[in-house]
A and B are shown apart, each in its own frame.
Chain A
Amino acid sequence: MPLWTDMFILGLVLTNFRLLATSRLAAVIQTTVLQAVFLIAIMLAMTPRPWPSLLILLSLITFVVKGALLPWLLSRAVREVKVLREIEPLVGYSASVLTGVALLGLSFLIFLPMKGAVSVGSDFLLPGALFTTLTGLLVIVSRKKALTQVVGYLVMENGVYAFGTALAVEEPLLVQMGVLLDVFVAVFIMGITVHQISREFDHIDTDRLSELKD
Protein backbone atom coordinates (compact mmCIF):
# COMPACT_ATOMS: atom_id res chain seq x y z
CA MET A 1 0.00 0.00 0.00
CA PRO A 2 1.82 3.11 -1.18
CA LEU A 3 -0.66 5.36 0.65
CA TRP A 4 0.17 3.77 4.00
CA THR A 5 3.89 4.05 3.31
CA ASP A 6 3.37 7.75 2.54
CA MET A 7 1.41 8.25 5.74
CA PHE A 8 4.10 6.62 7.88
CA ILE A 9 6.88 8.64 6.25
CA LEU A 10 4.81 11.74 6.88
CA GLY A 11 4.56 10.66 10.51
CA LEU A 12 8.35 10.33 10.66
CA VAL A 13 8.72 13.84 9.22
CA LEU A 14 6.26 15.25 11.76
CA THR A 15 8.09 13.64 14.70
CA ASN A 16 11.19 15.48 13.51
CA PHE A 17 9.33 18.77 13.72
CA ARG A 18 8.16 17.85 17.20
CA LEU A 19 11.75 17.21 18.21
CA LEU A 20 12.74 20.64 16.91
CA ALA A 21 9.86 22.42 18.63
CA THR A 22 9.93 21.01 22.14
CA SER A 23 12.10 21.92 25.09
CA ARG A 24 11.05 19.10 27.39
CA LEU A 25 13.50 16.23 27.59
CA ALA A 26 10.69 13.77 28.32
CA ALA A 27 9.00 14.76 25.05
CA VAL A 28 12.34 14.50 23.24
CA ILE A 29 12.80 10.92 24.44
CA GLN A 30 9.18 10.10 23.61
CA THR A 31 9.88 11.26 20.06
CA THR A 32 12.56 8.59 19.65
CA VAL A 33 10.01 5.92 20.59
CA LEU A 34 7.56 7.32 18.03
CA GLN A 35 10.27 7.34 15.39
CA ALA A 36 11.12 3.72 16.07
CA VAL A 37 7.45 2.79 15.60
CA PHE A 38 7.24 4.74 12.34
CA LEU A 39 10.49 3.21 11.01
CA ILE A 40 9.17 -0.28 11.57
CA ALA A 41 5.79 0.66 10.09
CA ILE A 42 7.48 2.02 6.95
CA MET A 43 9.58 -1.12 6.60
CA LEU A 44 6.55 -3.40 6.97
CA ALA A 45 4.27 -1.29 4.75
CA MET A 46 6.85 -1.32 1.94
CA THR A 47 7.30 -5.09 1.88
CA PRO A 48 4.58 -7.09 0.17
CA ARG A 49 2.88 -9.66 2.35
CA PRO A 50 3.51 -12.36 3.50
CA TRP A 51 6.42 -10.81 5.35
CA PRO A 52 9.62 -12.87 5.42
CA SER A 53 10.47 -14.12 8.88
CA LEU A 54 13.83 -12.32 8.69
CA LEU A 55 12.02 -9.00 8.36
CA ILE A 56 9.78 -9.72 11.32
CA LEU A 57 12.84 -10.65 13.38
CA LEU A 58 14.61 -7.46 12.34
CA SER A 59 11.63 -5.26 13.20
CA LEU A 60 11.32 -6.96 16.58
CA ILE A 61 15.00 -6.35 17.32
CA THR A 62 14.68 -2.76 16.09
CA PHE A 63 11.73 -2.15 18.35
CA VAL A 64 13.41 -3.65 21.39
CA VAL A 65 16.59 -1.62 20.89
CA LYS A 66 15.26 1.67 19.51
CA GLY A 67 11.78 1.75 20.98
CA ALA A 68 12.37 0.32 24.43
CA LEU A 69 15.99 -0.10 25.52
CA LEU A 70 17.50 3.20 24.39
CA PRO A 71 14.57 5.36 25.59
CA TRP A 72 14.72 3.52 28.91
CA LEU A 73 18.45 4.24 29.24
CA LEU A 74 17.89 7.88 28.32
CA SER A 75 14.99 8.43 30.69
CA ARG A 76 17.02 6.80 33.47
CA ALA A 77 19.79 9.29 32.75
CA VAL A 78 17.23 12.13 32.85
CA ARG A 79 16.03 10.95 36.22
CA GLU A 80 19.55 10.64 37.61
CA VAL A 81 20.89 13.98 36.46
CA LYS A 82 17.56 15.68 37.27
CA VAL A 83 17.41 17.81 34.15
CA LEU A 84 13.91 18.31 32.78
CA ARG A 85 14.27 21.01 30.18
CA GLU A 86 16.63 22.38 27.60
CA ILE A 87 16.86 25.93 28.93
CA GLU A 88 18.88 27.97 26.46
CA PRO A 89 19.36 26.39 23.05
CA LEU A 90 21.87 28.02 20.70
CA VAL A 91 19.09 28.31 18.11
CA GLY A 92 15.62 29.21 19.40
CA TYR A 93 12.71 26.84 18.98
CA SER A 94 10.82 28.88 16.38
CA ALA A 95 14.05 29.37 14.43
CA SER A 96 14.76 25.63 14.69
CA VAL A 97 11.37 24.77 13.23
CA LEU A 98 11.83 27.26 10.40
CA THR A 99 15.30 25.83 9.71
CA GLY A 100 13.64 22.42 9.72
CA VAL A 101 11.22 23.60 7.04
CA ALA A 102 14.16 24.80 4.96
CA LEU A 103 15.95 21.47 5.45
CA LEU A 104 12.83 19.58 4.38
CA GLY A 105 12.67 21.71 1.25
CA LEU A 106 16.35 21.04 0.60
CA SER A 107 15.85 17.29 1.00
CA PHE A 108 13.02 17.32 -1.54
CA LEU A 109 15.12 19.45 -3.88
CA ILE A 110 18.03 17.01 -3.74
CA PHE A 111 15.96 13.94 -4.46
CA LEU A 112 13.63 15.51 -7.01
CA PRO A 113 15.84 14.57 -10.02
CA MET A 114 16.19 11.03 -8.68
CA LYS A 115 12.45 10.40 -8.70
CA GLY A 116 11.76 7.13 -10.44
CA ALA A 117 15.47 6.44 -11.01
CA VAL A 118 15.84 4.51 -7.79
CA SER A 119 13.12 1.97 -7.32
CA VAL A 120 11.99 2.34 -3.73
CA GLY A 121 8.53 1.92 -2.30
CA SER A 122 7.68 5.59 -2.21
CA ASP A 123 8.94 8.85 -3.72
CA PHE A 124 8.97 10.36 -0.26
CA LEU A 125 11.18 7.82 1.47
CA LEU A 126 14.56 9.23 0.39
CA PRO A 127 13.71 12.88 1.12
CA GLY A 128 12.15 11.82 4.43
CA ALA A 129 15.26 9.85 5.37
CA LEU A 130 17.60 12.72 4.47
CA PHE A 131 15.42 15.16 6.41
CA THR A 132 15.58 12.91 9.47
CA THR A 133 19.37 12.76 9.22
CA LEU A 134 19.66 16.54 8.84
CA THR A 135 17.28 17.11 11.77
CA GLY A 136 19.50 14.96 13.96
CA LEU A 137 22.50 16.99 12.90
CA LEU A 138 20.67 20.26 13.58
CA VAL A 139 19.71 19.06 17.06
CA ILE A 140 23.29 18.05 17.82
CA VAL A 141 24.72 21.44 16.87
CA SER A 142 21.96 23.66 18.22
CA ARG A 143 21.27 22.24 21.68
CA LYS A 144 23.50 22.46 24.71
CA LYS A 145 22.37 19.62 26.91
CA ALA A 146 24.32 16.41 26.38
CA LEU A 147 21.15 14.35 26.58
CA THR A 148 19.46 16.19 23.73
CA GLN A 149 22.64 15.77 21.71
CA VAL A 150 22.50 12.03 22.30
CA VAL A 151 18.93 12.03 21.02
CA GLY A 152 20.09 14.05 18.02
CA TYR A 153 22.64 11.32 17.31
CA LEU A 154 19.89 8.71 17.61
CA VAL A 155 17.64 10.58 15.21
CA MET A 156 20.47 10.99 12.73
CA GLU A 157 20.95 7.26 12.89
CA ASN A 158 17.20 6.76 12.36
CA GLY A 159 17.61 8.66 9.11
CA VAL A 160 20.44 6.35 8.06
CA TYR A 161 18.27 3.40 9.00
CA ALA A 162 15.45 4.74 6.79
CA PHE A 163 17.97 5.05 3.94
CA GLY A 164 18.88 1.46 4.63
CA THR A 165 15.25 0.36 4.33
CA ALA A 166 15.03 2.20 1.02
CA LEU A 167 18.19 0.96 -0.62
CA ALA A 168 18.95 -2.39 0.94
CA VAL A 169 15.57 -4.06 1.05
CA GLU A 170 17.03 -7.39 -0.01
CA GLU A 171 20.02 -7.74 2.30
CA PRO A 172 19.19 -5.58 5.27
CA LEU A 173 19.94 -7.75 8.25
CA LEU A 174 23.72 -7.57 8.43
CA VAL A 175 23.91 -3.83 7.74
CA GLN A 176 21.09 -2.96 10.08
CA MET A 177 22.41 -5.16 12.86
CA GLY A 178 25.79 -3.50 12.60
CA VAL A 179 24.28 -0.04 12.79
CA LEU A 180 22.03 -1.00 15.66
CA LEU A 181 24.95 -2.40 17.65
CA ASP A 182 26.94 0.79 17.01
CA VAL A 183 24.15 2.99 18.26
CA PHE A 184 23.47 0.84 21.25
CA VAL A 185 27.07 0.96 22.36
CA ALA A 186 27.31 4.70 21.65
CA VAL A 187 24.22 5.57 23.68
CA PHE A 188 25.29 3.25 26.45
CA ILE A 189 28.66 4.96 26.72
CA MET A 190 27.14 8.42 26.36
CA GLY A 191 24.68 7.62 29.12
CA ILE A 192 27.49 6.67 31.46
CA THR A 193 29.49 9.73 30.40
CA VAL A 194 26.56 12.08 30.94
CA HIS A 195 26.09 10.62 34.38
CA GLN A 196 29.79 11.05 35.18
CA ILE A 197 29.86 14.61 33.87
CA SER A 198 26.88 15.61 35.94
CA ARG A 199 28.35 13.98 39.05
CA GLU A 200 31.65 15.76 38.63
CA PHE A 201 30.40 19.17 37.54
CA ASP A 202 26.78 19.38 38.85
CA HIS A 203 25.41 20.00 35.35
CA ILE A 204 25.45 18.47 31.88
CA ASP A 205 25.85 21.65 29.91
CA THR A 206 28.43 20.80 27.26
CA ASP A 207 28.98 24.46 26.45
CA ARG A 208 30.61 25.10 29.79
CA LEU A 209 32.93 22.11 29.45
CA SER A 210 34.85 23.90 26.71
CA GLU A 211 35.98 26.49 29.23
CA LEU A 212 37.87 23.88 31.23
CA LYS A 213 41.51 24.59 31.94
CA ASP A 214 44.12 22.16 33.23
Chain B
Amino acid sequence: MTSIINLLLALMLSPLLIGVINRTKAKIAGRRGQPLLQPYHDLVKLMKKGSVYSTTTTRVFRLGPVASLAAVLVAVTMVPSGGMGGVFSFAGDFVFMAYLLGLARFVTVIAALDTGSAFEGMGASREVQFAILAEIVLLLGLAVLAIGTGETSLTGIYGKLWVSAASALGPASLLVAFAFLIILLTENARIPVDDPNTHLELTMIHEVMVLDHGGVDLAFIQYGAALKLWLFAALLTGLAIPFRTGIVSLDMMVNTAGIFAAAILVGFIESGMARLRLLNVPQMLIAALAVTVASLLWILR
Protein backbone atom coordinates (compact mmCIF):
# COMPACT_ATOMS: atom_id res chain seq x y z
CA MET B 1 0.00 0.00 0.00
CA THR B 2 2.61 2.52 1.08
CA SER B 3 4.76 1.63 -1.90
CA ILE B 4 1.86 2.65 -4.16
CA ILE B 5 1.93 6.09 -2.53
CA ASN B 6 5.65 6.25 -3.28
CA LEU B 7 4.96 5.41 -6.90
CA LEU B 8 2.25 8.08 -7.10
CA LEU B 9 4.68 10.60 -5.59
CA ALA B 10 7.20 9.71 -8.30
CA LEU B 11 4.59 10.05 -11.04
CA MET B 12 3.33 13.39 -9.79
CA LEU B 13 6.45 15.11 -8.51
CA SER B 14 9.13 14.09 -11.02
CA PRO B 15 8.65 17.12 -13.34
CA LEU B 16 8.93 19.32 -10.25
CA LEU B 17 12.44 17.89 -9.78
CA ILE B 18 13.51 19.49 -13.06
CA GLY B 19 11.85 22.74 -11.98
CA VAL B 20 13.89 22.63 -8.75
CA ILE B 21 17.15 22.12 -10.66
CA ASN B 22 16.36 25.05 -12.97
CA ARG B 23 15.40 27.25 -10.03
CA THR B 24 18.60 26.38 -8.13
CA LYS B 25 20.70 27.27 -11.15
CA ALA B 26 18.80 30.53 -11.62
CA LYS B 27 19.22 31.50 -7.97
CA ILE B 28 22.96 30.86 -8.02
CA ALA B 29 23.35 32.83 -11.23
CA GLY B 30 21.35 35.70 -9.68
CA ARG B 31 18.41 35.37 -12.03
CA ARG B 32 14.80 35.10 -10.94
CA GLY B 33 14.32 31.97 -13.00
CA GLN B 34 11.29 30.30 -14.49
CA PRO B 35 8.37 29.28 -12.25
CA LEU B 36 8.84 26.04 -10.33
CA LEU B 37 5.88 24.51 -12.13
CA GLN B 38 7.16 25.41 -15.62
CA PRO B 39 7.89 21.76 -16.56
CA TYR B 40 4.20 20.95 -15.91
CA HIS B 41 3.06 23.85 -18.07
CA ASP B 42 5.39 22.67 -20.83
CA LEU B 43 4.01 19.16 -20.62
CA VAL B 44 0.39 20.37 -20.76
CA LYS B 45 1.19 22.66 -23.69
CA LEU B 46 2.86 19.82 -25.59
CA MET B 47 0.03 17.40 -24.84
CA LYS B 48 -2.44 19.80 -26.45
CA LYS B 49 -0.48 19.93 -29.70
CA GLY B 50 -0.74 17.62 -32.65
CA SER B 51 2.19 15.73 -34.11
CA VAL B 52 4.01 16.32 -37.35
CA TYR B 53 5.88 13.38 -38.88
CA SER B 54 8.46 13.62 -41.60
CA THR B 55 7.79 11.43 -44.64
CA THR B 56 11.23 9.84 -44.31
CA THR B 57 10.38 8.33 -40.92
CA THR B 58 8.78 4.97 -40.39
CA ARG B 59 6.83 3.29 -37.63
CA VAL B 60 10.05 3.00 -35.59
CA PHE B 61 10.09 6.75 -35.11
CA ARG B 62 6.57 6.74 -33.66
CA LEU B 63 7.35 3.76 -31.44
CA GLY B 64 10.34 5.48 -29.79
CA PRO B 65 8.70 7.88 -27.29
CA VAL B 66 5.88 5.49 -26.33
CA ALA B 67 8.13 2.48 -25.77
CA SER B 68 10.80 4.42 -23.88
CA LEU B 69 8.21 6.02 -21.56
CA ALA B 70 6.64 2.61 -20.95
CA ALA B 71 10.00 1.04 -20.11
CA VAL B 72 10.90 3.84 -17.69
CA LEU B 73 7.46 3.62 -16.06
CA VAL B 74 7.93 -0.10 -15.38
CA ALA B 75 11.47 0.55 -14.09
CA VAL B 76 10.15 3.16 -11.63
CA THR B 77 7.73 0.66 -10.09
CA MET B 78 10.68 -1.43 -8.92
CA VAL B 79 12.59 1.31 -7.14
CA PRO B 80 12.34 1.21 -3.36
CA SER B 81 12.35 4.47 -1.46
CA GLY B 82 12.20 5.54 2.12
CA GLY B 83 12.26 2.07 3.66
CA MET B 84 9.32 0.92 1.57
CA GLY B 85 9.87 -1.61 -1.16
CA GLY B 86 9.00 -1.14 -4.80
CA VAL B 87 5.56 -2.03 -6.06
CA PHE B 88 7.06 -5.01 -7.82
CA SER B 89 9.99 -6.91 -6.40
CA PHE B 90 11.60 -10.23 -7.23
CA ALA B 91 15.03 -11.81 -6.97
CA GLY B 92 17.48 -10.11 -9.30
CA ASP B 93 15.16 -7.29 -10.28
CA PHE B 94 18.02 -4.77 -10.33
CA VAL B 95 19.30 -6.41 -13.51
CA PHE B 96 15.78 -6.17 -14.96
CA MET B 97 15.63 -2.50 -14.01
CA ALA B 98 19.02 -1.77 -15.60
CA TYR B 99 17.93 -3.48 -18.81
CA LEU B 100 14.58 -1.66 -18.89
CA LEU B 101 16.56 1.57 -18.82
CA GLY B 102 18.74 0.08 -21.56
CA LEU B 103 15.61 -0.71 -23.59
CA ALA B 104 14.36 2.86 -23.15
CA ARG B 105 17.69 4.14 -24.44
CA PHE B 106 17.70 1.66 -27.32
CA VAL B 107 14.29 2.72 -28.68
CA THR B 108 15.23 6.39 -28.34
CA VAL B 109 18.42 5.70 -30.29
CA ILE B 110 16.76 3.79 -33.12
CA ALA B 111 14.01 6.42 -33.33
CA ALA B 112 16.77 9.02 -33.72
CA LEU B 113 18.51 6.94 -36.36
CA ASP B 114 15.18 6.43 -38.17
CA THR B 115 14.98 10.13 -39.03
CA GLY B 116 18.00 9.70 -41.29
CA SER B 117 19.45 12.97 -40.08
CA ALA B 118 23.23 13.00 -39.72
CA PHE B 119 22.91 15.29 -36.73
CA GLU B 120 20.69 12.88 -34.82
CA GLY B 121 22.92 9.98 -35.79
CA MET B 122 25.83 11.80 -34.18
CA GLY B 123 23.86 12.26 -30.97
CA ALA B 124 22.84 8.60 -30.99
CA SER B 125 26.44 7.52 -31.42
CA ARG B 126 27.57 9.66 -28.48
CA GLU B 127 24.72 8.50 -26.28
CA VAL B 128 25.56 4.85 -26.87
CA GLN B 129 29.29 5.44 -26.42
CA PHE B 130 28.80 6.90 -22.93
CA ALA B 131 26.01 4.47 -22.08
CA ILE B 132 28.38 1.51 -22.45
CA LEU B 133 30.54 2.83 -19.62
CA ALA B 134 27.64 4.14 -17.52
CA GLU B 135 25.79 0.84 -17.63
CA ILE B 136 28.80 -1.13 -16.36
CA VAL B 137 29.15 1.23 -13.42
CA LEU B 138 25.42 1.04 -12.59
CA LEU B 139 25.29 -2.76 -12.71
CA LEU B 140 28.58 -3.17 -10.87
CA GLY B 141 27.49 -0.71 -8.18
CA LEU B 142 24.21 -2.56 -7.64
CA ALA B 143 26.14 -5.85 -7.60
CA VAL B 144 28.41 -4.48 -4.85
CA LEU B 145 25.34 -3.64 -2.78
CA ALA B 146 23.79 -7.03 -3.50
CA ILE B 147 26.96 -8.86 -2.36
CA GLY B 148 27.33 -6.61 0.66
CA THR B 149 23.79 -7.11 1.90
CA GLY B 150 23.36 -10.68 0.70
CA GLU B 151 20.06 -9.77 -0.99
CA THR B 152 19.16 -10.07 -4.65
CA SER B 153 16.20 -7.73 -5.03
CA LEU B 154 16.32 -3.95 -4.94
CA THR B 155 13.80 -3.88 -2.11
CA GLY B 156 15.87 -6.31 -0.06
CA ILE B 157 19.12 -4.47 -0.76
CA TYR B 158 17.81 -1.05 0.18
CA GLY B 159 15.97 -2.48 3.17
CA LYS B 160 19.18 -3.95 4.57
CA LEU B 161 21.46 -0.98 3.86
CA TRP B 162 20.55 0.67 7.11
CA VAL B 163 21.16 -2.46 9.17
CA SER B 164 24.65 -3.04 7.81
CA ALA B 165 25.71 0.58 7.27
CA ALA B 166 28.08 0.44 10.23
CA SER B 167 29.99 -2.64 9.00
CA ALA B 168 32.37 -2.92 6.08
CA LEU B 169 29.51 -1.99 3.78
CA GLY B 170 29.60 1.59 5.09
CA PRO B 171 32.68 2.84 3.20
CA ALA B 172 31.77 0.73 0.16
CA SER B 173 28.24 2.10 -0.09
CA LEU B 174 29.62 5.65 0.17
CA LEU B 175 31.86 4.91 -2.83
CA VAL B 176 28.93 3.44 -4.75
CA ALA B 177 26.88 6.54 -3.90
CA PHE B 178 29.62 8.70 -5.43
CA ALA B 179 29.65 6.56 -8.56
CA PHE B 180 25.85 6.74 -8.75
CA LEU B 181 26.01 10.54 -8.60
CA ILE B 182 28.23 10.53 -11.68
CA ILE B 183 25.88 8.05 -13.36
CA LEU B 184 22.91 10.26 -12.49
CA LEU B 185 24.60 13.19 -14.22
CA THR B 186 25.55 11.09 -17.25
CA GLU B 187 22.27 9.23 -17.74
CA ASN B 188 20.16 12.34 -17.38
CA ALA B 189 22.36 14.45 -19.65
CA ARG B 190 23.24 16.96 -16.94
CA ILE B 191 26.14 19.41 -17.11
CA PRO B 192 29.56 17.83 -16.80
CA VAL B 193 28.48 15.52 -19.62
CA ASP B 194 25.80 17.35 -21.57
CA ASP B 195 23.90 20.61 -21.19
CA PRO B 196 20.13 20.11 -21.36
CA ASN B 197 19.51 23.79 -22.10
CA THR B 198 21.61 24.42 -25.18
CA HIS B 199 21.29 23.31 -28.75
CA LEU B 200 24.94 23.61 -29.64
CA GLU B 201 25.90 20.85 -32.00
CA LEU B 202 29.49 20.40 -30.83
CA THR B 203 28.57 18.91 -27.50
CA MET B 204 24.95 17.86 -27.63
CA ILE B 205 24.11 14.29 -26.76
CA HIS B 206 20.62 13.69 -25.52
CA GLU B 207 18.79 16.75 -26.83
CA VAL B 208 19.94 16.18 -30.38
CA MET B 209 18.27 12.78 -30.48
CA VAL B 210 14.82 14.17 -29.79
CA LEU B 211 14.97 17.23 -32.06
CA ASP B 212 12.50 15.83 -34.57
CA HIS B 213 9.90 14.81 -32.02
CA GLY B 214 7.10 17.22 -31.34
CA GLY B 215 3.77 17.52 -29.58
CA VAL B 216 2.65 14.52 -27.57
CA ASP B 217 5.79 12.56 -28.46
CA LEU B 218 8.03 15.27 -27.02
CA ALA B 219 5.85 15.42 -23.91
CA PHE B 220 6.34 11.67 -23.46
CA ILE B 221 10.09 12.03 -23.84
CA GLN B 222 10.31 14.90 -21.38
CA TYR B 223 8.12 13.13 -18.85
CA GLY B 224 10.19 9.96 -19.28
CA ALA B 225 13.37 11.95 -18.70
CA ALA B 226 11.89 13.45 -15.51
CA LEU B 227 10.92 9.99 -14.26
CA LYS B 228 14.41 8.69 -15.00
CA LEU B 229 15.89 11.56 -13.01
CA TRP B 230 13.56 10.68 -10.12
CA LEU B 231 14.59 7.01 -10.36
CA PHE B 232 18.31 7.74 -10.14
CA ALA B 233 17.79 10.35 -7.42
CA ALA B 234 15.83 7.76 -5.40
CA LEU B 235 18.63 5.18 -5.83
CA LEU B 236 21.20 7.77 -4.74
CA THR B 237 19.15 8.98 -1.78
CA GLY B 238 18.60 5.44 -0.51
CA LEU B 239 22.38 5.03 -0.44
CA ALA B 240 23.34 8.41 0.94
CA ILE B 241 20.61 8.61 3.62
CA PRO B 242 20.11 5.02 4.75
CA PHE B 243 18.44 6.03 8.03
CA ARG B 244 15.02 4.75 9.00
CA THR B 245 12.90 5.96 11.89
CA GLY B 246 10.36 3.16 11.62
CA ILE B 247 7.47 5.58 11.21
CA VAL B 248 6.32 5.11 7.62
CA SER B 249 5.12 8.63 6.88
CA LEU B 250 8.23 10.20 8.41
CA ASP B 251 10.54 7.92 6.43
CA MET B 252 8.68 8.80 3.27
CA MET B 253 9.03 12.51 3.96
CA VAL B 254 12.75 12.20 4.69
CA ASN B 255 13.24 10.23 1.51
CA THR B 256 11.30 12.67 -0.66
CA ALA B 257 13.22 15.55 0.88
CA GLY B 258 16.43 13.63 0.08
CA ILE B 259 15.40 13.27 -3.56
CA PHE B 260 14.80 17.01 -3.82
CA ALA B 261 18.11 17.63 -2.03
CA ALA B 262 19.73 15.54 -4.78
CA ALA B 263 18.08 17.85 -7.34
CA ILE B 264 19.46 20.91 -5.54
CA LEU B 265 22.90 19.24 -5.47
CA VAL B 266 22.66 18.73 -9.23
CA GLY B 267 21.81 22.41 -9.56
CA PHE B 268 24.90 23.33 -7.55
CA ILE B 269 27.12 21.03 -9.63
CA GLU B 270 25.75 22.49 -12.85
CA SER B 271 26.37 26.03 -11.64
CA GLY B 272 29.89 25.31 -10.41
CA MET B 273 31.24 23.19 -13.22
CA ALA B 274 31.89 23.73 -16.88
CA ARG B 275 30.89 21.06 -19.31
CA LEU B 276 33.70 18.59 -19.90
CA ARG B 277 35.27 18.25 -23.28
CA LEU B 278 33.68 15.32 -25.05
CA LEU B 279 36.94 13.38 -24.99
CA ASN B 280 37.16 13.73 -21.21
CA VAL B 281 33.73 12.30 -20.48
CA PRO B 282 34.83 8.64 -20.81
CA GLN B 283 37.71 9.50 -18.48
CA MET B 284 35.26 10.64 -15.81
CA LEU B 285 33.17 7.50 -16.28
CA ILE B 286 36.29 5.33 -16.02
CA ALA B 287 37.10 7.10 -12.76
CA ALA B 288 33.60 6.17 -11.55
CA LEU B 289 34.29 2.62 -12.69
CA ALA B 290 37.56 2.55 -10.76
CA VAL B 291 35.77 3.74 -7.64
CA THR B 292 33.13 1.05 -8.04
CA VAL B 293 35.71 -1.69 -8.58
CA ALA B 294 37.53 -0.49 -5.46
CA SER B 295 34.30 -0.85 -3.48
CA LEU B 296 33.72 -4.30 -5.02
CA LEU B 297 37.16 -5.46 -3.84
CA TRP B 298 36.40 -3.90 -0.48
CA ILE B 299 33.25 -5.98 -0.14
CA LEU B 300 34.86 -9.17 -1.43
CA ARG B 301 38.11 -8.80 0.56
Contact assessment for B293 and A93 in the assembled complex, using a CB-CB cutoff below 8 Å: no
Contact of B301 with A108 in the complex, beta carbons under 8 Å: yes
Residue from the list A7, A17, A112 in contact with B290, Cβ < 8 A: A17
Known interface pairs A17-B290, A97-B290; 8 further A-B residue pairs with C-beta atoms within 8 A, sorted by A's residue number: A6-B171, A10-B171, A97-B283, A100-B290, A101-B294, A104-B297, A105-B293, A112-B301
Does A10 lie within 8 Å of B298, measured CB to CB? Answer: yes
Central interface residue in B283, B290, B293, by most chain A CB within 10 Å: B290
Interface size class of A (residues with CB under 8 A): 20 to 34
Nearest chain B CB to A104's CB is how many angstroms away? 6
> Does any Cβ of B come within 8 Å of A82's Cβ?
no
Provided the pairs A10-B298, A108-B301, A123-B301 are in contact, do residues A98 and B290 lie with their beta carbons within 8 angstroms?
A: yes
Chain B positions near chain A (C-beta within 8 angstroms):
166-168, 170-171, 175, 282-283, 286-287, 289-291, 293-294, 297-298, 300-301
- Among B166, B167, B168, the most chain A Cβ lie within 10 Å of the Cβ of B168
- Is A212 part of the contact surface with B, judged by Cβ < 8 Å? no
Min CB distance B187 to A, Å, is 20
Q: Which chain A residues in 94-124 approach chain B with CB under 8 Å? A: 94, 97-98, 100-101, 104-105, 108, 112, 115, 123-124
Q: Are A101 and B290 in contact (CB under 8 A)?
A: yes
- CB neighbours (8 Å) of B282 from chain A are 94
- Given the interface pairs A97-B290, A101-B289, the reply to whether A108 lies near B170 with Cβ below 8 Å is no
Q: Is there an interface contact between A124 and B283, defined as CB atoms closer than 8 Å? A: no
Taking beta carbons and an 8 Å cutoff, which residues of A are in contact with B? 3, 6-7, 10, 13-14, 17, 21, 93-94, 97-98, 100-101, 104-105, 108, 112, 115, 123-124, 127
Contact in complex: A3, B293 (CB < 8 Å): no
Q: Is the interface of A mostly helix, strand, loop or mixed?
A: helix
Is A10 within 8 A of B289, CB to CB?
no
Cβ–Cβ < 8 Å partners of A93 in chain B: 283
Minimum C-beta distance from A34 to chain B (A) = 16
Please measure, in the bound complex, the distance between the C-alpha atom of A40 and the C-alpha atom of B167, giving whole angstroms. 23
CB neighbours (8 Å) of A100 from chain B are 290
Q: B290: which A residues are within 8 A, CB to CB?
A: 17, 21, 97-98, 100-101
B166 and A98 form a contact (CB under 8 A): no
B287 touches A3 (CB 8 A): no
Subset of 6 A-B contacts with CB under 8 Å:
A6-B171, A7-B170, A14-B291, A21-B287, A94-B286, A100-B290
Task: Please tell me which one of the listed residues A10, A104, A123, A127 contacts residue B293 in the complex, with CB atoms under 8 A apart.
Answer: A104
